[in-house]
Amino acid sequence: MNGERIRVLLIEGNRDDARLIQEMLAISSVSLTFELERADRLSAGLEQLAAGGIDAILLDLSLPDSRGLETVVQTHAQAPGVPIVVLTGLDDENLAVRAMQKGAHDYLVKGQVDRNLLVRAIRYSIERAQTQEALQESEERYALAVRGTHEGLWDWNLKTNEVHFSPRWKFMLGCEENEIGNSPDEWFSRLHPEDLERLKKEIEAHLAGLTSHFENEHRVLHKDGTYRWMLSRGLAVRNAAGNAYRMAGSQTDITVRRAAEEQLLHDALHDALTGLPNRALFIDRLGLLIGRAKRRQDYLCAVLFLDLDRFKVINDSLGHMFGDQLLIAIARRLEACLRPGDTVARLGGDEFTMLLDNIKDVSEATRVADRIQNELATPFNLNGHEVFTTASIGIALSVPGYDWPEDLLRDADMAMYRAKALGKARHALFDRGMHARAVALLQLEADLRRAFERQEFRIHYQPIVSLLSSQITGVEALARWHHPQRGLVCPAEFIPLAEETGLIITLGEWLLRTACAQNKAWQAAGHSQLRVMVNFSARQFQHRNLLDLIQRVLGETGMAAHTLELEITETLAMKDIDFSLTTLNELSAMGIQISIDDFGTGYSSLGSLKRFPITTLKIDQSFIRDITNDADDAALTTAIIAMAHSLALKVIAEGVETEEQLAFLRSQKCDEILGYVISRPVPAEAFTKLLEGGGCLSPGAT
Ligand code: C2E
Ligand code: MG
Ligand code: MG
């Protein structure tokens, strides 16, 4: 037989009733056949159920061995998956309803049953049992999923305004299942006050249909009293009219991720070594305060720009590890000097900046600078080393006119340079004049760069005259800049700048070549032993191509090496003695003469200079100026000349202006002189005339 077969177990004590049922189910169709088995008491029925294969049970509630609800309970317990249709008498409908609660699927009232009703009841109860089983399975699966996931879930019934929070959701906040109820407030009341508004706004926006889904990051209070960062996501369920009646979603703990993000942000805005704010953060805060200063007339803030005075020495001598430790220790001391609202930052290297918020007047800023200097005066103890340091501090105030934080910082920096120039270990206040000077310097620098291309440089020549022969024996080449607007600019003004910008290298090369070529021309014209003296600055002297350059120039001009005399200052020679010694020895080996310029202005002794292969000493003009009216200067000059001679050095007196000075120097056996008494520095053509005139020491020569 094809079609469906349903095995029904009828547990019925009453034989007539049993027969009636039997008859009703006996009529089978092609598509459906009932196989009926019968038990006349519960015990027999349970046994048959144990054998299995039963699809549905028809159960009478008044059996010889069991009555009432207990019958249902036992039957259901024996075969939980098999649907039970209870058969009751007319007066027992209440009992039937309660039987349903105990596991029965349906009930029929005896005497009111016909075949159709019976078949439908059996079939429906089977179907319902099947869906129930499926539902249970799916619910179990869901529960498992919920338990398994890391996320907490919430399900908000918008009609009743109740939220179901999953156990995991509650656990994420450190709570047990029963510690959190169903109110949305359980969530909102735990939210960080700063995050609540935004969360609510985003929920509203989604409910109103403005966003495709709800998503928000916020802090929620954990039972342990700390806040945890959570990511909540959700979706509204809407009716046909589009109105949301339910919203459900998840909660993920993102505390670790947020901490990593915050660390990244912190790193981007702080100095890794000292942990202080860095330049970016400092500029940001300064920008805020400048904005405040622009809005409020009575508001004033100050920037202190601090640079350590001898950090490089410490770093180079004790090593970078110590240098780093010192910077950290300084950072801590600086912090201790400031009030809570102030900022101290490290810009890099040994540069620190401080932002003083809301100060009354400039004296408050200078007091802080004093305090810092006092604080730094106590030596630092780094691994047993006592380290002393001082700092130069520039101060700039947020006076009207500042639009950008960078400008205020720049001015504080400029004032710091001023403090350095004034002798370090002090503070200087920025003033508008500084800015003007800096701008002028910048302009000069730009002009200087252009000057070389435009060939605005000249050389003036000043004769060196022998006191023995009264003849011109040498010539000092002195740089001049013919500025298109300012006229002749003296070297004291542009040489340091050329030195700083590096232009001195190209300029110096041109000077050397031109001076040597010129001197060679004079030699060729009959003054064969004429020496040319060329000044060399630090950067030129330390340039690695120095020897090459000189060799090349001598080769090109054909001038004899011994007629070239290089002038370096005493200070420069003593700066790096080993280097000077090597370089000067090499120059000397080439046959070049070396003279020490401006002697007497440095701190070196003649003895120490003697280690160098020098040939000439030029006594600085500051000694010569007063030799005729200052006994000390006269005695000093006499001593220098005598000592130089004892070391077989030639002596040249610089800046001789009067006949009296000349007479004195001659009496002291000074070898040569240079000064206005003979001639000022003059262009080459004029110098040629001097040479032709014999260069004799006639008074009144200019
Ligand atoms: P310096 O080498 O000591 O040059 C002597 C300076 O004294 C020159 O100043 C000269 O004009 C000046 N002078 C000479 N006789 C007298 C005098 O009787 N009375 C007075 N009051 N001054 C006198 P100048 O030309 O202004 O040069 C200043 C300094 O600039 C030079 O001092 C030198 O150190 C530097 N300098 C000049 N030319 C060059 C150069 O080509 N290269 C480098 N590196 N430095 C240079
Ligand atoms: Mg000189
Ligand atoms: Mg000099």
CB 441 within 8 A of CB 500: no
The rounded Å distance from CA 568 to ligand 3 centre is 9
Burial class (CB in 10 A: 0-12, 13-18, 19+), 25: buried
Indicate the range of 11-20, 131-140, 383-392, 607-616 predicted with least confidence.
131-140
What pLDDT is stored for residue 312 in this prediction? 87
Specify which of 33-37, 187-191, 381-385 reaches the highest per-range mean pLDDT.
187-191
Mean pLDDT within 577-593? 92
What six digits make up the tokens of 88?
Answer: 């009751």
Nearest-CA residue for ligand 1 atom 42 is 535
Closest C-alpha among 382, 435, 442 to residue 408: 435
What six digits make up the tokens of 140?
Answer: 């179990």
Burial class (CB in 10 A: 0-12, 13-18, 19+), 487: exposed
Indicate the range of 49-53, 141-145, 215-219 predicted with least confidence.
141-145
Greater confidence (570 vs 517) lies with 517
Q: Using CA atoms, how far apart are residues 697 and 663, in angstroms rounded to an integer?
A: 11
Q: Residue 549 contacts by C-beta under 8 Å, 6 or more apart in sequence?
A: 509, 512, 543
Nearest-CA residue for ligand 1 atom 37 is 478
How far is CA 120 from its chain centroid?
78
Indicate the range of 187-191, 215-219, 608-612 predicted with least confidence.
608-612
Q: Give me the chain's average pLDDT, please.
A: 91
Greater confidence (239 vs 183) lies with 183
The rounded Å distance from CA 598 to ligand 2 centre is 7
What pLDDT is stored for residue 2 in this prediction? 58
- Amino acid found at 666: R
Kindly identify the ligand whose nearest atom is closest to the C-alpha of 566. Answer: 2
The rounded Å distance from CA 366 to ligand 3 centre is 40
Q: What percent of the chain has pLDDT over 70?
A: 97
Residues facing 228 on adjacent strands: 220
Query: What Å distances lie between residue 93 and 24, 96, 98, 113, 537, CA to CA?
Result: 22, 5, 9, 14, 120
- Ligand 1 atom closest to the Cα of residue 479 is 38
Query: What Å distances lie between residue 386 and 258, 311, 318, CA to CA?
Result: 43, 14, 11
CB 6 within 8 A of CB 25: no
What pLDDT is stored for residue 274 in this prediction? 96
Q: Residue 468 contacts by C-beta under 8 Å, 6 or more apart in sequence?
A: 671
| pLDDT higher than 70, residue 196 | yes
Nearest-CA residue for ligand 1 atom 7 is 655
The rounded Å distance from CA 142 to ligand 1 centre is 95
Q: Using CA atoms, how far apart are residues 366 and 557, in angstroms rounded to an integer?
A: 59
CB 572 within 8 A of CB 541: yes
| pLDDT tens-place string over residues 292-336 | 999 998 999 999 999 999 898 888 888 899 999 999 999 999 999
Q: Taking the C-alpha atoms of 237, 240, 245 and 247 in order, what is their torsion angle to the nearest 10 degrees?
A: 10
The rounded Å distance from CA 478 to ligand 1 centre is 6
CB 357 within 8 A of CB 272: no
| pLDDT tens-place string over residues 49-97 | 999 999 999 999 889 999 888 999 999 999 988 999 998 887 777 888 8
How far is CA 662 from its chain centroid?
65
Q: Which pLDDT band, with edges at 50, 70 and 90, does 601 fall under? A: confident
Nearest-CA residue for ligand 1 atom 13 is 655
- Ligand 1 atom closest to the Cα of residue 460 is 25
Q: Using CA atoms, how far apart are residues 187 and 196, in angstroms rounded to an integer?
A: 10
Mean pLDDT within 6-11? 94
Query: What Å distances lie between residue 74 and 79, 108, 448, 544, CA to CA?
Result: 9, 19, 111, 108
What pLDDT is stored for residue 578 in this prediction? 85
Q: Using CA atoms, how far apart are residues 124 and 22, in angstroms rounded to an integer?
A: 19
Ligand 1 surroundings by CB, under 6 angstroms: 462, 478-479, 490-492, 495, 511, 535-537, 567, 597-598, 621, 654-657, 674-676, 681
What pLDDT is stored for residue 694 in this prediction? 66
Q: How is the beta sheet containing 214-221 ordered, strand by strand?
A: 162-165, 152-157, 244-253, 227-238, 214-221
Nearest-CA residue for ligand 1 atom 23 is 655
The rounded Å distance from CA 618 to ligand 3 centre is 7
What pLDDT is stored for residue 702 in this prediction? 34
| pLDDT higher than 90, residue 674 | yes
Q: Which pLDDT band, with edges at 50, 70 and 90, does 463 fall under? A: very high
The rounded Å distance from CA 618 to ligand 1 centre is 12
Residues facing 566 on adjacent strands: 534, 594
| pLDDT higher than 70, residue 384 | yes
Q: What percent of the chain has pLDDT over 90?
A: 68
Residues facing 87 on adjacent strands: 60, 108
Closest C-alpha among 84, 89, 46, 96 to residue 66: 46
Kindly identify the ligand whose nearest atom is closest to the C-alpha of 491. Answer: 1
Closest C-alpha among 323, 304, 321, 302 to residue 312: 323
| pLDDT tens-place string over residues 687-700 | 999 999 865 555 43
What is the three-state SS of 274-314? CCCECHHHHHHHHHHHHHHHHHCCCCCCEEEEEEECCHHHH
What pLDDT is stored for residue 41 in this prediction? 94
Nearest-CA residue for ligand 1 atom 8 is 478
The rounded Å distance from CA 477 to ligand 2 centre is 8
| pLDDT higher than 80, residue 474 | yes
Residue from 464, 654, 702 whose mutation best tests the ligand 1 pocket (most atoms within 8 A of CB): 654
Residue from 475, 478, 539, 553 whose mutation best tests the ligand 1 pocket (most atoms within 8 A of CB): 478
